[in-house]
Amino acid sequence: MNSESSEILLAANSNSSTNSANSANSANSTEISTSINEIPKKKSTIWKFLQLIVGVLALAYVLSHIDKNELLRVLIKVNYFELLGAILSTLFMTYLMGWRWQLLVKVRYKVSSFTLFGQYLIAQFFNLFTPGAVGGDLVRMLRVSKITGDGSFVFTSVVVERLVSLVGLVLNGMLGLYLGRNYLNHPANFYALIILLAISISLCLILLSKTAMKRFVDLIKFIETKIGRKFISGLVEPITNHLAVFSERPGLILSIILSTFLVRSLWCVSCWLVALALGLEIPFFVLMALISVVDVARMLPISPPNGIGVREYLLVLLLSPLGINNTQATIFAFVAYSLLMVNGLIGGLLYTSQAVIEN
């Protein structure tokens, strides 16, 4: 009887020690997984901090060189009718961006251009406080995915739209540099745009190449086989299938490039009207070139939300050879890019009203 009870006690102690060891291991694994999950958050925080530093330093430099008397002189002479024309032109530009996106989406789904116009306005609202255009693109992608029920196709359409549009943006800038060559002496900008054009065309050709994308998927599957675990092939394969659909439509890709050229030209009209409203004599084709350079810089991941600070700094540098002083260039940059802020505020109202209606 005593031996049986002692065996029971030993078994109980053994079980309790095993349970405590298991709980300790579980706690350790939880701590490890928590620390691993915290790494991306720390990186994200550091990156946001760097973006903030870049924006603040650039903006501080620009604002420190503003002449208060010149600022008042420019603001007093503002032509509000031309400024209103710039606002309406920018709003119509955003509609054209929605229409351009519809050209891609309607390959498989019927979504009205006005619906996509509204999603673009909402995206511009989120772009006010997210870096580059990533936040806005993510929002419009998720919202239209709910409409179509096909997230991978909508994601692919956004990727194709962005990459092909980059070709149109660069071509627009190069045309401006050529036609405004009598006023400009920025060979570095020209060569930078040439390099960017080559990169964007190369990326488009790779993405729209069935052979290249098939090899990419095969490589992923080979790596997964070696690892013994699937991780992204199930996600990448449908996207490559959607890309193949777009690659079979070269006319559609050309339409996206041409529509981007139209969108960019309209944006330059808006900026030109702002220049006229402020009493600044900046040739239209010069603006076409310089705004393209600034907008490419705004897309960079290191750029702060809406490119604030970076855009003002670049325009001060780029406009100074034309006799535009620091104060005039800074005011021009603030007012011109405030047009996008107006669109963003309209998008914010639209987003709020839709949320209220859905609830």
Asked if pLDDT for residue 16 goes beyond 70, the answer is: no
Residue type, position 355, single letter:
A
Q: What's the pLDDT at 20?
A: 46
pLDDT at 19 over 50: no
Pick 60 or 171 by higher pLDDT.
Answer: 171
pLDDT reported for residue 28: 38
CA distances from 178 to 185, 196, 208, 323 (A): 11, 16, 30, 20
> What percentage of the chain carries pLDDT values higher than 70?
74
Mean pLDDT rounded to a whole number for the chain: 77
Domain extents in the chain = 1-64, 68-187+244-358
Mean pLDDT, residues 92-110 = 93
Residue 39: per-residue pLDDT: 44
Q: Buried (b) or exposed (e) across 310-322, using 16+ Cβ within 10 A?
A: bbbbbbbebbeeb
Q: What is the spatial distance between Cα 55 and Cα 52, in angstroms, rounded to a whole number?
A: 5
Is a pLDDT exceeding 60 seen at residue 33? no
pLDDT > 80? residue 157: yes
pLDDT at 197: 66
pLDDT at position 242 is 80
The mean-pLDDT minimum among 14-28, 36-50, 179-193 falls in 14-28
| CA–CA dist 215, 203 (Å, integer) | 15
Closest Cα to residue 294, out of 184, 150, 163, 193?
Answer: 193
Q: Residue 7 above 70 pLDDT?
A: no
Average confidence (pLDDT) over 216-225: 77
- Greater confidence (107 vs 213) lies with 107
Q: What integer pLDDT is reported at residue 189 of this predicted model? A: 59
pLDDT confidence bin for 315, thresholds 50/70/90 = confident
Which pLDDT does position 109 carry in this prediction?
Answer: 92
Write the CA distances from 104 to 100, 170, 235, integer angstroms: 7, 21, 20
The stretch 106-132 carries a mean pLDDT of 88
Bigger pLDDT: 76 or 339? 339
First to last CA, the chain: 70
**Burial, 278: exposed, middle or buried (Cβ in 10 Å; 0-12, 13-18, 19+)?**
buried
Instruction: Tell me how far apart the alpha carbons of residues 180 and 289 are, in angstroms, rounded to a whole number.
Output: 8
H helix or E strand, kind and range, residue 265: helix 250-277
**Per-residue pLDDT at 178:** 78
The one-letter amino acid at 199: I
Q: Is residue 326 within 8 Å of residue 62, measured between CB atoms?
A: yes
**Banded pLDDT at 274 (limits 50, 70, 90):** very high
Global pTM value: 0.76
pLDDT digits (tens, 9 = 90+) for 38-58: 444 555 566 566 666 766 666
pLDDT at 190 > cutoff 70: no
